[in-house]
Each structure stands twice: as structure tokens, then as C-alpha cells.
Amino acid sequence: MPLYIGIDLGTQGACVLAVDSAGTVQARAERAFPAATLRAPQPGWFEQSPLAWREAVLGALGEISQALGSRRAEVAAVAACGTSGTLCLVDASGEPLGEAIMYADTRATVEAEEAAAAWQGLVDKVGYTISSSYALPRLLWVRAHEPERFARTRWALSPADLVAGWLSGVWGISDWTNMLKTGYDTVATAWPSEALDRLGLDLRILPRVQAPGAAIGPLQREVAEAFGLPPSALVASGATDGTAAQLASGAAAPGQWNTTIGTTLVLKGVSRRIIVDPLGRVYCHRHPDGFWLPGGASSTGADCLAQRFSAEDLAALDAAALSLSPTPLTVYPLARRGERFPFVRPDAEGFELGTARSTAERYAAHLEGIACVERLAYDTVSALGAEVGDAVYTTGGGTRGRSFTQIRADLTGRAMRLAAVPEAALGAAILAASAATGQSVTAMTEAMVHIVAEVPPRAEQRVAYEAVYERFVSACRERGYIE
């Protein structure tokens, strides 16, 4: 039976899965990044080392190969996903030029205004504007502040593109989900030359763009030999981590939505029509098989738990959280300055209102805060005219805690549906399978994703959680984050 490898290049590390045609995991490997990989040299900056990424990805791939043993000869294709909006600059040979400027970096606020002005004529067509969370303003920032680095740049790529290049040896190719935030026109499926000309940006620095799950080429010989993989195995275009996680969740039909809780919180849905948001909170990816994939990526998520409770027993805190929730506290769990969804505020800062009586209560309040952001996100997309069903397909590391999943169901008022393998790496493997088989991404999703649990909201808790949400919304209004 053929096997497909999916690689998720996250913020904290790399996860690699090898799965069969039914989506059953045959091997798994994870490699964490060293702490020094995460850098914040100035307030609002957030950088990572692509060299550390490469070491982690190749190390995990080696573990996968060893675990598969003789079955490594059955690997038919590989694809990768990575963070959306992260800017990676490489030279003509694919070598990284300095640190990657990450999705949560807020340095390019001035350049974002410049890019948004040039983009204004496209807003009604493509459904979104440019903000400081996009890679395009970051590219303009490098041109203005690091001209020598910019002059050496051959390609402006995403993290997933780097992985594809390391494996295939082919550079200058990306997919239309990863390039949306670099200014790619997903309606025309072309780079908008007129808008980019206004910015004085040479189109030659931008990669050729194709559909997620389209073939790039076979594994380069050195990689195939190093890991004992078939040289005929295809490397396919990947996607953003949010798009890959949506595929892994099983949300495949119009009206179905996925929330991925990882380091950040990402919403993705399926829509028959493009959703237009002039404020830039929501953007629409194009699905490889038709339809549109509206969504948004918050700067909040489980990162706050890792930062604020790293010294605690998280399993014990999660076990206690449900008995302590709803709490009297109000938390907006933003770990770094700046928010991009469900509102765009580069100056946003997190807050904790009230005094926790214990670490466990403070932890429970943070779970509520993440769920409040999720609820506000769904209220936002609904107000823009998106069809949102009564259930949420959910993925990511944040789904592992039963208490958290129940709190999210209670606060959003929607059932939480959990897939057997709720990880973005499975979504990347689905794209690899589509490339190898020639089957549609939708067909491969239906074949490889299996819903194993559903957690409904508790009706008896509805009033209490409405009060939690109303306090949260009121606090955001007081700070001018929402109207």
C-alpha cells in the first residue's frame, strides 16, 4: 500500500507523519526547535532560524525512515505546511538569507499602510486588504531597512516552500495559500503586476505559484539516498498550516468550519462564494477543487499556556479546569503585542482582569479567554455573510485536553468534532496523496479523515458562559479593539 509523508513546520518544532491511503498513521516523529531559535531582538519583532528548521525537519524525516523500515520503499509522495505570513528570503541556491520574519512580527506597520494603499483597488475583488501580519509589508521593510540583504535575495518564500526546496532541489515554486499574504491575486491566480508596480517591487523575486497538492518534482537523489526513500517519490506543493489543518479536520463542505488551536488560533471554512472583508480580518484562500476557504489567523492561541504555565503540570491543570469554569475572571490571552484576527490592531495587548484564587483558576480563565477569541471570530465571519454550521471541526495540539474542548463548546455554543488525527501534518499528507494519485483533494480528505468524537455544548451552562463572553467583549470595546 502506498504511503504519504506530511510535514508540519510549526513555531515550536517540526512534526512528520507517514500515513497510508486510509489516513492511518504508520510512523510519527517530532523534533522541537532549540529555545535560541525563537528571537525577539526588539519589541514587536519575532524571528526564527531557517537553519534550525532544516535540522529539525531532516532529523524527523530520518526517524520516520528508520521507523518505516522496509516500508520506506512504499513512500509515494511528500508535502509540507508551515506558518502563514512568515517571510523567508533565500539566494539562488536556496540558502536562507538571515532569519525568517515570523507571522506575529509587527515591525512593518508603516510598510503595511503603503502596501494597503497600493492594494486598495483589489479589495472588492479578492475580499481582503493588506495588514502588518502579511509577508508583503515585511518584504518592503527588508528592502527599506536591510538593502544589502534584499539585494542578495533571489526568492521570497514561505516555510513550506523551504521544505519543498530542501527535498526536491527545485526553488522558486510556491502555492496559492502561502503566497496570498505576499500579495498573490487568488481570484485571477496571478501576481497583480499593477499593484506591485506601484510598490516598485520586481516580480522576479516572487515565486511561480501553483495549486496546493500539485507536483513539484521527485526527491532529489541525495535526499532519497540519505533516507532510503524511493527516488520516484514526488514532492508536492504544500499549504499554510491553517489550510492543512482544515483538511485534517474533515471540514470539506460549504458551511463547515475548522478551528485549529496550536501556538495560534486559526479559523478556516468552506464557502460557495468569496467573503469580502475591507478591514482585512478575513481572507479567502482558493480551494484546489473549487469553492473558497475564508478564514483568519489570530495571534492568540495555546502559546499563552506554554509561556505562562510552562513550569506547571498542564495535564493536572486541564483536569481541574472544568470544575473551576466558568470563572469570575476575564482574560484576553495575547502573549505578544499585536493582533490580526478577529480584529486588526498592531498595538493590541493582552489583559487579565480579576485576581485568580489559584494557578488552576488562572489556567481555566486562560482557556476561557482563548474560547472567547474563537467565539468572537465566528461572530465576525457570520456578520460578513459566511455560512457557519452548528458544529466546529477542530484540530491542533489544543484539542488534546478534554476540559478545553468542553469549555470551547460551551462558550461558542457549537459542538466540537474531533478527527482521529487532528494534526496539520495529516493535511499535508493529504496533499501529497492527491499529487501521487491524481485524485482531488476533496476525495482524498474524505478517504483519509475520520471523525471519532463530538463534544456538544452543555445547555445548563449557557447563561453562565454568556456572561463570560459579554465581559470579554465589553473589555475589548473599552480598549477600542472592537466597536
Residue by residue, DSSP assigns 410-427 as HHHTSEEEEESS-SHHHH
Task: Name the pLDDT band for 347 (thresholds 50, 70, 90).
Answer: very high
Q: In this structure, what DSSP letter does residue 34 have?
A: P
Can you give the pLDDT at residue 317? 92
Q: What is the residue whose three cell numbers read 463570560? A: 468
Q: What is the mean pLDDT of residues 432-460?
A: 95
Q: What are phi and psi of 178, to 5 degrees?
A: -70, -30
Q: 359-383 and 314-324 helices cross at what angle (nearest 10)?
A: 70
More confident residue, 73 or 302: 73
So what's the pLDDT on residue 285?
Answer: 87
**pLDDT tens digits along 201-235:** 999 999 999 999 999 999 999 999 999 999 999 99
Residue 189, pLDDT above cutoff 90: yes
**Long-range contacts made by residues 119-122, C-beta under 8 angstroms, separation at least 24?**
119/183, 119/192, 119/195, 121/194, 121/195, 122/185, 122/192, 122/195
Q: What is the pTM of this model?
A: 0.84
Question: What's the one-letter identity of residue 143?
Answer: R
* Distances, alpha carbon 466 to alpha carbons 45, 362, 459, in Å: 35, 19, 11
pLDDT of 194 over the 90 cut: yes
* 352-373: burial string, b at 16+ Cβ within 10 Å, e else: beeebeebbbbbbbbbbbbbbb
